[in-house]
Amino acid sequence: MCVMDKKLKILTYGCQMNVAESERMAGQLQQIGYTLTESFDAADLILFNTCCVRATAEDKIYGKIGEIKKYKRLNPALIVGVVGCLAQKDGEDLIRRAPHVDFVLGTGQRGELVSVVENFESTRRQFVDTSNVSGLIDDENILPVRAGGVSAFVPIMYGCNNFCTYCIVPHVRGRERSRQPAEILSEIRETVGAGFKEITLLGQNVNSYTGGGKTFPELLRDVDKISGVERLRFMTSHPKDLSDDLIAAMAGGKNICEHIHLPVQYGSNEILRKMNRVYTVEKYLALVEKIRAAIPNISLTTDLIVGFPGETDETFAETLEFLERVRFDMAFTFIYSRRTGTPAADFPNQVDEATKHARLEKLMALQNKISLEKNFALDGQVVEVLVEGASKTDRNIFTGRTRQNKLVLFEHGTEKAGDVVRVKITQVQTWLLKGQIAG
């Protein structure tokens, strides 16, 4: 094993899955002498772990890659690599657009990272490989290098089989592949042994997990039994696959948190059909009713897309009405981003940017109103909070989250990260709650 101290700077863009995969890549590179640094100037290797779900993310990444040229001029030995979804999508074009990049690895090539870096160190020849989009990734036995904290992401599967018409993920991450249960449970035991209290299981659609013949509810129950797992979360769930057994597992679980992120994407059957979401508004509403009947204190969050091709004033009005009916605790709202290679990119009746932005503002205003009203129900209540640590802006204030995944700020005393404390809510805001330690 190489003992030379080399410095690695990773820039991670996009989803929680990318965060988890960056941790695994840091674990791989640690084996050949690389340790993490926050400094661009000190880095021997700068690694971009990329996203291409939206054009804005892609533009931001290319802008940052362009900035790295100055570090390459100052340090010609610096290695610059690009991995992940944008690397998979653009491949050789990325090198042509940014010639100072030394290697490009697609989403299925993560297991090659060590050999690629070692080869470049000795040959200094550019390298591109995006050939293995749906392949197995040989790094599951690598212990991730996680930042300090109380929460950890654990991938349970990769890829997606759903092919929503707006989404590039299946094209850049390939078809679904599930990790074996024994690997997942072993990683979680090591993770809680290292002091992490909260585990989030990750997948593009965790509900379709099939590793080792197990269903996702069965895996969830197994993880819930592991000593040291004090809170258990998962994301993301596709509404078409959320089963009665999963609802039962959550309702009967000890450490499974009362929160589901359930992306609906839109509130009109006409647009849902064009999106290839498979379910209807009525089926989604029935599912929400079933979940809330079984888990009355559940927090429900979602994703919503505005400006999908064919959206009209009428379909948008249906979506606002839908929001009023469901009353999500929170929604992540996005403007539709036209992605080359997806069917929706060629759909007629594309919506102009001004209309998209105007509708997004209306959607956000309504959801913010609902979120605030939902939070007001907690005013004066005592909630259980897992302490995450001191606020970045005020060291006298600690932050943490409820089991329903609501952010809470409070003045701390003797509490420390990882403690579970009871906080009385004294002030309510749209995106967070404030309180004081309950006596």
Each residue's pLDDT tens digit, 202-218:
999 999 999 999 999 99
6 pLDDT exceeds 70?
A: yes
Could you tell me which CATH number the domain at 6-129 has?
3.40.50.12160
Provide the mean pLDDT of the chain: 95
- 429 DSSP assignment: -
- CA distance readout (Å), 187 to 190, 221, 405: 5, 16, 23
Q: Which amino acid is at 413?
A: G
* Beta bridge mates, 235: 202
- Contact assessment for residue 343 and residue 302, using Cβ atoms and an 8 Å cutoff: no
With 0-12 CB in 10 A as exposed, 13-18 as middle and 19+ as buried, what is 69?
middle
Signed CA dihedral, 355, 169, 52, 144: sign only: positive
Cα-Cα end-to-end distance for the chain = 53
State the pLDDT at residue 140: 63
- DSSP lists the bridge partners of residue 270 as none
pLDDT of residue 138: 59
Q: What is the pLDDT of residues 40-77, one digit of tens each?
A: 999 999 999 999 999 999 999 999 999 999 999 999 99
Q: How far is CA 275 from CA 105, 123, 175, 280, 342, in A?
A: 30, 46, 19, 11, 11
Topology of domain 151-376 in CATH is pyruvate-formate lyase- activating enzyme (3.80.30)
pLDDT-derived band at 139, boundaries 50, 70, 90? low
Query: 267 with 277: CB under 8 angstroms?
Result: no
Phi, psi of 83 (to 5 degrees): -130, 170
Gap between the Cα atoms of 344 and 7, Å rounded: 42
Q: What is the pLDDT of residues 180-200, one digit of tens each?
A: 999 999 999 999 999 999 999
Q: What is the mean pLDDT of residues 17-36?
A: 95
Give ranges for CATH 2.40.50.140 in the chain.
382-437
For 240, which DSSP code? G
For CATH 3.80.30.20, list the domain ranges present in the chain. Answer: 151-376
Domain 382-437: which CATH class?
mainly beta
Q: What confidence tens digit (pLDDT) does each residue in 265-305 have?
A: 999 999 999 999 999 999 999 999 999 999 999 999 999 99
Confidence at 1, pLDDT banded by 50, 70, 90 = very low
* Alpha-carbon Rg for the chain in angstroms: 22
Beta-bridge mates of residue 398: 390, 410
- The mean pLDDT of 411-421, rounded to a whole number, is 90
Question: Which pLDDT tens digit goes with each residue over 300-359?
Answer: 999 999 999 999 999 999 999 999 999 999 999 999 999 999 999 999 999 999 999 999
Domain with CATH 3.40.50.12160 in the chain: 6-129
What is the pLDDT at residue 34? 97
Q: Supply the pLDDT for residue 413.
A: 78
Residue 172 has pLDDT above 80, yes or no: yes
Q: Worst-scoring range by mean pLDDT, 33-37, 118-122, 181-185, 390-394?
A: 390-394
% of the chain beyond a pLDDT of 70:
97
Question: Cis before residue 236, ω within 30 degrees of 0?
Answer: yes
pLDDT at 2 over 70: no
